[in-house]
Amino acid sequence: MILEGLVTTRNADGSPHLAPMGPRVGADWARFVLRPFPTSGTYKNLSAHGEGVLHVTDDALLIARAAIGRADPPPPVRPAVRVAGFVLADCCRSYEFVVRSVDASGERVAIDAEVVHAGRHRDFWGFNRARHAVVEAAILATRLHLLPHDEVAAEFKKLWVIVGKTGGPAEHEAMDLLDEHLAGAAR
C-alpha cells in the first residue's frame, strides 16, 4: 500500500528538509520503499546521510505547503530518538529509518528503508473529504512537470467543489496556495 506522508531528512548544513512522500509500506511497518525523483532534495540528503523520519499526519495544509516548497517557516521539530534527524512536533506517528539499499536505475529512485524506531505522538483524527481533496491536489501539484497543465487545472476545479462543501479554513488556505502554484506554473 502507498501511504501519503511527510519525510524529514538533514540538509548539508544540518537543518531539516521536509518533503511529501508516498512510500510503499507493508502491514508490519518494519520496512518501506521511498521513491523520490533523483533530482530531489530528499534523495540528495538520503544519499549523503542515509537516515530520516517518515511522518503520518492529518495536517493537509502542511502536506500541501511541503508539496510546493512553501513550508517556510518550517514547522516545529524535535530531535529524533535513534537517527540524526528530526521529528515533526505535531505529527501523529513517526518512523525513524535507515537506508538499507538504493536502486537508482529507473526514472525514480527506489530506496529500501528499515524502521529503527517508531513513535506515537497523538491520535490521528482522520481525513474528511476536503482533506483528501487537498492531498490529491498536492500530489497533482508535484506532477506539473509530467502532466498537462489543463488536465491538472480541470482536476483542481473538481477538488475545489469538495473543499467548498466540506472544508474548513485550513483546507481553503491549502487549496488557495495550490491554485497559486498552478497559476505560476502556467506562466
How far apart CA 30 and CA 75 sit, in angstroms, is 26
pLDDT, one tens digit per residue, over 101-149 is 999 998 899 999 999 999 999 999 878 999 999 999 999 999 999 999 9
Domains and their CATH numbers in the chain = 5-120 (2.30.110.10), 129-186 (1.20.58.290)
Measure the CA–CA gap between 136 and 41, rounded to whole angstroms. Answer: 22
- Rounded to the nearest angstrom, the gap between the alpha carbon of residue 141 and the centroid of all alpha carbons in its chain is 12
Mean per-residue pLDDT over the chain, rounded: 95
CA distances for 4 relative to 63, 77, 98, angstroms = 9, 19, 19
Q: What is the pLDDT of residues 153-165, one digit of tens each?
A: 999 999 999 999 9
**Averaged pLDDT for residues 38-63:** 97
Cell of 177: 496556495
The pLDDT confidence band at residue 73, using thresholds 50, 70 and 90, is confident
Look-up: residue for cell 501523529? Answer: 92
Q: How far apart are CA 145 and CA 143, in angstroms?
A: 5
Tell me the CA distances in angstroms from 90 to 44, 103, 158, one per residue in order.
25, 32, 30
Q: Average pLDDT of 150-179?
A: 97
Is it the case that residue 187 has pLDDT exceeding 80?
Answer: no
Residue range 35-44, pLDDT digits in tens: 999 999 999 9
User: Is pTM beyond 0.85 here?
Assistant: yes
Residue 186: pLDDT band (50, 70, 90) is confident
Helix residue ranges per DSSP H, the chain: 41-49, 60-67, 129-141, 149-166, 169-186
